[in-house]
């Protein structure tokens, strides 16, 4: 049985103009001790997904589908059970976590708070555990009485990870854990996460928009766009030979140093990530797609198999024309780009 | 937009650099002579040739932002010179005004860089109004927006920043800078707060500006991939000094300074270097280590390579000379760079 | 490049505006639209509307009272009523110690109270805003120096200072307004300075500086527009305070002895023992008027704050 199984999850936020769908029918699985990377940009619904796993969505959100954590559906749990499950089975390190620390309390106390919420422990026991956690994340235990402002960004991120590990969860969700960090600190944090995964047998769900980070650190990748998964499969294959045009664009956004093809040749997509309130019809990616065809705006997309254990939600995958995706030059992003091209079906 | 040639303007050697920084120091703190001084920029030589894109890379706290601001005249240097077309830039708002028409700034966060109460038209026209530029304002604004890639420009006149996406806002900021027809842009992390798929557009825009308008650009970034994407030259900063400079490809293919090598090795998908993760974080600029400022964290020193070459004492005790801005590729390291070693010896021997 | 045919991220022009208008004219039109929206938003607050209504009534009374109650009614020598007579048909609010109609006094008193209140507010907000903006924007020495001055004024107790100044300068409406203004600007200064500090450190200020802007441009084009809403909301509350202050000073006998204001009425009532005689009609009208006006200003101020700060709208 997989540790985490998400089935047809749909999450909508209430708004004056009606429900805004943030997540639209997502399926995911993560086995114990495995790593899954979730790639996507702002507005694609990945943070909503992460919050949904622990039912941390704001009041008024409507959800359907199921989120099975060790077989139990988080979405239908009773509040008492939910409280017990939160943090002890799965924990989240939020986006911008470095700012999620209370500036007027010592970091040791804040970590201890997480412990105390779940176990009755004496002060001495809590302090010992805090010390252990800090050591585990690479901070000396004597930093426990520090205030957040006395720590650097990287150190605060480690404190957040320590807090997440306080109750020995089996699943750790890291939402953009490295986005605001320097590349060296980023490497330190990612190495730390990998070590923790090995030592503690954690499963890791890593969420970021940097596909190369996921390719280097995860076994499998799922790419989200406009609330849906548009490609998933083994990390290396998805990164090196994307089957979906969006994945290709995302992979090219962060060039490989040393690759002549990207020297003085930035790749990008025209347009912007779609607003969840006004999604294009059919395949939501078609307005920005270099290889869209006449059928795309009205097509009902699903995840079609693309070989090598991959699946992608692109009509060319369905029709067996994977080469079209791979060869397509991206829509030129210079000033004189032609208007949307249509290719013959 | 495939690989482009450098701007067809005059060959660099004939004209001299468009921007030159000589022995620049920017120190903060020291209220009335007491208290720790933060040496944000601690001796920098830098040159930008006309039609060139130079990337200034480094982690947070290395001083690249302070250097950029000193170049723009937004921060007063404690010593050293900033020369534009061979002339030192002035001090004070009045003296800098004419300089500001020539050298413009593109900020990191396009959302904060635009006054939320001003329409796009007003934001772009602001520069024109400050300098009293003659001509039909509407046409000038429309041209600037078009050059920034926002078309049709008149559609955007009335938009307010919150109605635009991140990429569009950044284009408005760039258009605002272009309205004054500058010769040079200083871009501080121009794409780091934008979505991944939008970065390419903005970077291609910058490349296009160099190609079509002959601009020179100094890009400040922490992202070496960005330098690979668009920069002709790369300068890496650490704790207030430039520790390596040279043509981008040379620096990234064979870094000469242990810091650059470590930084490059941890970038995902970089396979030609063995991964070296440095421990800890850079010390803050009030406590710069003696000798080579990188030596406490240097993998070459820690592994004994420096000792084997016989330079470890110098690493610990002797300050490394400031790296001069030359066309070749140099790293400010006693171990790896012979000319630096020799310059140090000459100095000490004197 | 944005694909113009596919997405329209820009709000379409409102149908009422011809597209050939210049951008400046359109910007003006948009500002008017924004003002219209703000007004509609304000209208939703019932307390704001009630407050506004009360104020409109009082201001109208103050402006038009000479039309229906001649000034002669205030003349002590021409008083026709019996002193301290209770409300009757002839004198709806009774009479004062000289036999003058209390109603006339109250309505005429509105003029002085409101006038002094507004004048004092102008002085107070004017000084406070200038000090606040200069201190917040320029920072460092300027800020320190100005804030020390502000602290000085803030710390001195209002009443003793007001009494001393009023005595020294002499009792006249202008002087009273001046005294109140001088003693109440520090509050505005601090609020404005905080906002100016916040705005000055925003990236678009740095951008404007990089474009070549001088301090005057930065202040007038960027800081002031961001500070004015705050000043506006603050002003409304200052007026209430100013009117109360005028009442206090007049009550203490420091007002212009030749002019009637609510405070002077209370003073006169007190001095002539209206309370012990039981002449409630002399005390209640001015008291109620002060209460209503200050309350109205407060309600308007709160409604304004909600309009200007969307987060308070309780949506």
Q: Is A177 helix (H, G, I), strand (E, B) or coil?
A: coil
- Partner residue opposite A339 with nearest CB, options C5, C7, C9: C5
d(CA C93, CA C105): 10
More confident residue, A207 or C171: A207
Q: What are phi and psi of B96, to 5 degrees?
A: -80, -10
Predicted local distance difference test score (pLDDT) of residue A98: 65
Examine the pLDDT at B6 and tell me if it is beyond 50: no
- The residue of chain B with its CA nearest to that of A44 is B195
pLDDT score for A338: 37
- Distance, CA of A243 to CA of B322 (rounded, Å): 49
**B35 membership: H or E segment, kind and range:** strand B34-48
Smallest CA–CA distance from B151 into chain A, residue: A335
Residue B132, sorted as left (phi over 0), alpha (psi -120 to 50) or beta, turns out to be left
Give buried/exposed letters for C260-279 (b at 16+ CB in 10 A, else e): bbbbbbbbbbeebebeeeeb
Closest partner residue to B1 among A42, A217, A333, by Cβ? A333
More reliable by pLDDT, B283 or A180: B283
Identify the burial level of A101 via C-beta atoms within 10 angstroms of its C-beta, where 0-12 means exposed, 13-18 middle and 19 or more buried: buried
Find chain A residues with C-beta within 8 A of B190's C-beta. Answer: none
**Average pLDDT of A307-316?**
86
Residue B2 to residue B34: CA distance in whole angstroms? 55
What SS3 class is residue C21? Answer: coil
- pLDDT value for C20: 56
- Angle subtended at Cα A12 by Cα A7 and Cα A18, rounded to the nearest 5 degrees: 150
Query: Residue C57: what pLDDT?
Result: 92
Where do the DSSP E strands lie in chain C? none
Better pLDDT: B334 or C27: B334
Closest to A215 measured CA to CA, from A37, A16, A87: A37
Per domain, the residue ranges of chain B are 254-349
- Indicate the length of chain A as a whole number: 345
Instruction: Please write the tens of the pLDDT for every residue from B25-51.
Output: 999 886 666 678 888 999 999 999 999
> Residue B3: pLDDT above 50?
no
Spatial distance between the Cα atoms of A91 and B120, rounded to a whole number of angstroms: 43
Flag if B222 and A182 touch (Cβ within 8 Å). yes
- pLDDT for res C21: 59
Q: Is residue A300 part of a domain?
A: yes
Phi, psi at residue B87, to the nearest 5°? -105, 140
pLDDT at B52: 92
Whether B131 sits inside 8 A of C1 (CB atoms) is no
Residues 6+ apart with CB under 8 A from B293: B238, B239, B240, B241, B320
Measure in Å the smallest separation between the Cα of A281 and chain C Cα atoms.
Answer: 12
Strand order in the sheet with B34-48: B34-48, B19-31, B79-84, B87-88
- For residue A300, what is the enclosing H or E element? none
Query: What percent of chain B shows pLDDT beyond 90?
Result: 31
Q: pLDDT confidence of B7, banded at 50, 70, 90?
A: very low
User: Does the pLDDT value for residue B94 go beyond 90?
Assistant: no
Determine contact: A271 vs chain C, CB below 8 A.
yes
**What letter does residue C136 receive in the DSSP assignment?**
H
- Supply C56's token pair: 């409109």
Which chains, if any, share at least 3 CB pairs under 8 A with chain B?
A, C
Residue A258 is predicted with a pLDDT of 81
* Residue A328 banded pLDDT, cuts 50, 70, 90: low
Where a domain ends, among A168, A190, A215?
A168
Give the residue from chain C lying closest to B136, CA to CA. Answer: C22
Say which residues have a Cβ less than 8 Å from residue C265's Cβ, sequence separation at least 6.
Answer: C96, C102, C105, C106, C109, C282, C285, C286
Query: In terms of Cα–Cα distance, which of B150, B141, B164, B158 is closest to B202?
Result: B150
Alpha-carbon distance A309 to nearest alpha carbon in chain B (angstroms): 22
- The pLDDT of residue B144 is 92
Mean pLDDT (whole number) for B216-231: 92
The reported pLDDT for the residue numbered A326 is 74
C3 and A272 within 8 Å at the Cβ level: the answer is: no
Task: Let me know how many helices (H) and strands (E) chain A has, helices first.
Answer: 11, 12
How many structural domains does chain A have?
2
For the cut 90, the answer to whether the pLDDT of residue B220 exceeds it is yes
Task: Determine the pLDDT at residue B111.
Answer: 79
Q: Is B240 on the interface with C (CB under 8 A)?
A: no
pLDDT exceeds cutoff 50 at B337: yes
Asked if B42 and B238 count as a contact pair (C-beta separation under 8 A), the reply is no
Instruction: Report if pTM > 0.95.
Output: no
* Cβ-nearest to A339 among C3, C7, C9: C3
Residue segments in chain C with a per-residue pLDDT below the cut of 50: 1-18, 312-315
Dist CA A146 CA B4 (whole Å): 52
Quick one: what percent of chain A has pLDDT higher than 90? 17
CA dist B92 and B103 (Å) reads 16
Say yes or no: A339 contacts chain B, CB-CB below 8 A.
no
Q: Is the pLDDT of residue B304 over 50?
A: yes
Range(s) of the domain holding residue A318: 242-327
- Are the C-beta atoms of C275 and C269 separated by less than 8 Å? yes
Last residue of a domain, one of A141, A168, A195: A168
Q: Between B74, B151, B158, which is nearest C30 by CB?
A: B158
Report the range of poorest mean pLDDT among A185-199, B324-338, C201-215, C241-255. B324-338
Q: Which among A22-31, A146-155, B158-167, C277-286 has the top mean pLDDT? A: A22-31
- The pLDDT value recorded for residue C151 is 92
Q: Which two tokens stand for residue A141?
A: 């235990």
Chains within contact range of chain C (3+ C-beta pairs < 8 Å): A, B
- Residues of A with CB below 8 A from B4's CB? 264
Higher pLDDT, B235 or A327: B235
Distance of CA A172 to the CA centre of its chain: 11
The pLDDT of residue A330 is: 54
Q: How far is B6 from chain C (nearest CA, A)?
A: 22
With 60 as the cut, is the pLDDT of residue A310 above it?
yes
Q: Is the pLDDT of residue B96 over 90?
A: no
How is residue C46 written in tokens?
Answer: 């019932």
Give the span between the Cα atoms of A174 and A161, in whole angstroms: 9
ipTM, two decimals, is 0.81
* More confident site: B121 or A18: B121
Strands A311-312 and A228-234: antiparallel
Averaged pLDDT of chain B: 85
Identify the three-state secondary structure at position B91: coil
Contact A168, A88 (CB under 8 A): yes
Most confident stretch, B217-221, B266-270, B292-296: B217-221
Residues A273, B197: C-beta atoms closer than 8 Å = yes
Largest CA distance in chain A: 71
Is a pLDDT exceeding 60 seen at residue A233? yes
Kindly report, residue by residue over A240-276, the tens digit of the pLDDT: 888 898 998 888 888 888 888 888 888 877 777 788 8
Q: B145 touching A, CB under 8 A? A: no
Residue A341 has pLDDT above 60, yes or no: no
Residue A339 has pLDDT above 60, yes or no: no
For residue B3, the chain A residues in CB contact (below 8 A) are: 263-265
- Contact call for C10 and B96, based on CB within 8 A: no
Nearest by Cα to A56 from A86, A29, A28, A30 = A86
């Amino acid at each position: 049985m997989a540790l985490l199984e998400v089935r047809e999850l749909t999450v909508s936020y209430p708004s004056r103009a009606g429900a805004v769908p943030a997540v639209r029918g997502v399926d995911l699985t993560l086995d114990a001790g495995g790593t899954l990377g979730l790639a996507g940009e702002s507005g694609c619904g990945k943070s909503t997904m992460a919050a949904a796993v622990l039912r941390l969505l704001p009041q008024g959100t409507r959800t359907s589908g199921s989120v099975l954590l060790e077989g139990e559906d988080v979405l239908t749990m009773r509040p008492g059970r939910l409280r017990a499950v939160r943090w002890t089975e799965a924990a989240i390190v939020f986006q911008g976590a470095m700012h999620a620390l209370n500036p007027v309390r010592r970091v040791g106390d804040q970590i201890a708070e997480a412990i105390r919420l779940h176990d009755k422990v004496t002060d001495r026991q809590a302090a010992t555990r805090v010390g252990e956690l800090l050591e585990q994340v690479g901070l000396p235990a004597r930093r426990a009485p520090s205030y957040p402002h006395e720590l650097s960004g990287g150190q605060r991120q480690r404190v957040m990870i320590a807090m997440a590990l306080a109750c020995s969860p089996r699943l750790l969700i890291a939402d953009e854990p490295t986005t605001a960090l320097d590349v060296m600190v980023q490497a330190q944090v990612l190495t730390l996460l990998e070590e923790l995964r090995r030592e503690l047998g954690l499963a890791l769900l890593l969420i970021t928009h940097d596909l190369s980070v996921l390719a280097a650190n995860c076994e499998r990748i799922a790419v989200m766009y406009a609330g849906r998964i548009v490609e998933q499969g083994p990390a290396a294959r998805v990164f090196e030979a994307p089957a979906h045009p969006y994945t290709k664009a995302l992979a090219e956004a962060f060039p490989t140093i040393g690759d002549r093809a990207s020297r003085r040749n930035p790749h990008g997509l025209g347009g912007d990530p779609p607003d969840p309130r006004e999604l294009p019809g059919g395949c939501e990616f078609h307005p920005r797609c270099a290889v869209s065809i006449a059928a795309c705006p009205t097509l009902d997309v699903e995840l079609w198999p693309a070989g090598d254990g991959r699946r992608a939600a692109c009509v060319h995958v369905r029709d067996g024309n994977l080469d079209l995706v791979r060869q397509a030059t991206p829509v030129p992003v210079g000033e004189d780009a032609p208007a949307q091209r249509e290719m013959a079906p | 937009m495939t690989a482009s040639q450098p701007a067809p303007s005059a060959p660099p050697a004939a004209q001299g650099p468009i921007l030159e920084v000589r022995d620049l120091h920017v120190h903060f703190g020291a209220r009335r002579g007491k208290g720790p001084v933060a040496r944000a920029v601690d001796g920098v030589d830098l040159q930008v040739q006309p039609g060139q894109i130079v990337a200034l890379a480094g982690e947070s706290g290395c001083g690249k932002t302070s250097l950029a601001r000193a170049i723009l005249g937004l921060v007063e240097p404690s010593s050293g010179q900033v020369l534009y077309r061979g002339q030192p830039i002035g001090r004070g708002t009045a003296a800098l005004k004419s300089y500001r028409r020539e050298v413009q700034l593109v900020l990191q966060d396009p959302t904060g860089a635009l006054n939320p109460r001003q329409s796009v038209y007003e934001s772009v026209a602001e520069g024109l109004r400050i300098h009293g530029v003659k001509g039909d304002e509407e046409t000038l604004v429309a041209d600037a927006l078009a050059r920034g890639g926002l078309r049709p420009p008149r559609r955007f006149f009335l938009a307010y920043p919150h109605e635009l996406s991140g990429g569009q806002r950044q284009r408005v900021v760039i258009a605002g800078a272009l309205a004054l027809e500058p010769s040079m842009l200083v871009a501080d992390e121009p794409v780091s707060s934008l979505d991944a798929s939008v970065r390419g557009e903005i970077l291609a825009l910058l490349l296009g500006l160099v190609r079509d308008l002959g601009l020179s650009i100094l890009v400040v970034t922490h992202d070496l991939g960005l330098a690979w994407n668009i920069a002709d030259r790369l300068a890496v900063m650490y704790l207030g000094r430039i520790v390596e400079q040279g043509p981008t490809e040379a620096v990234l293919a064979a870094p000469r300074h242990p810091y650059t090598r470590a930084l490059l090795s941890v970038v995902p998908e970089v396979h030609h270097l063995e991964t070296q993760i440095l421990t800890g974080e850079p010390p803050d600029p009030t406590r710069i280590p003696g000798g080579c400022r990188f030596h406490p964290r240097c993998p070459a020193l820690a592994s004994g390579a420096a000792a084997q070459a016989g330079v470890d004492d110098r690493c610990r005790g002797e300050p490394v000379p400031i790296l001069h801005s030359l066309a070749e590729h140099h790293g400010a390291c006693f171990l790896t760079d012979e000319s630096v070693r020799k310059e140090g010896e000459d100095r000490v021997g004197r | 490049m944005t694909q113009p045919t596919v997405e329209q991220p820009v709000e379409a022009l409102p149908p009422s505006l011809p597209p050939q208008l210049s951008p400046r004219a359109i910007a003006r039109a948009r500002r008017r639209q924004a003002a219209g929206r703000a007004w509609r938003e304000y209208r939703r607050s019932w307390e704001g509307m009630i407050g506004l209504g009360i104020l409109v009534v009082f201001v109208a009374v103050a402006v038009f009272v000479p039309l229906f109650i001649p000034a002669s009614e205030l003349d002590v020598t021409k008083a026709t009523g019996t002193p301290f007579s209770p409300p009757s048909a002839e004198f709806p609010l009774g009479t004062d110690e000289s036999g003058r109609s209390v109603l006339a006094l109250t309505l005429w008193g509105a003029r002085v109270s409101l006038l002094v209140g507004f004048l004092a507010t102008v002085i107070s907000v004017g000084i406070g805003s200038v000090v606040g903006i200069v201190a917040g924007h320029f920072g460092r020495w300027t800020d320190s120096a100005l804030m020390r001055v502000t602290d000085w004024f803030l710390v001195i107790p209002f009443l003793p200072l007001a009494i001393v100044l009023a005595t020294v300068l002499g009792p006249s409406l202008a002087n009273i307004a001046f005294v109140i203004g001088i003693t109440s600007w520090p509050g505005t200064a601090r609020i404005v300075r905080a906002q100016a500090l916040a705005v000055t450190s925003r990236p678009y200020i740095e951008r404007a500086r990089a474009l070549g802007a001088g301090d005057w441009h930065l202040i007038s084009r960027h800081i002031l527009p961001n500070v004015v809403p705050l000043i506006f909301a603050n002003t409304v509350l200052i007026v209430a305070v100013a009117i109360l202050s005028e009442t206090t000073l007049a009550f203490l006998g420091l007002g212009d002895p030749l002019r009637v204001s609510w405070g002077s009425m209370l003073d006169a009532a007190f001095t002539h023992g209206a309370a012990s005689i039981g002449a409630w009609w002399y005390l209640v009208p001015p008291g109620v008027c002060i209460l209503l006006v200050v309350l109205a200003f407060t309600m308007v101020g709160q409604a304004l704050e909600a309009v200007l700060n969307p987060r308070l709208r309780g949506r």
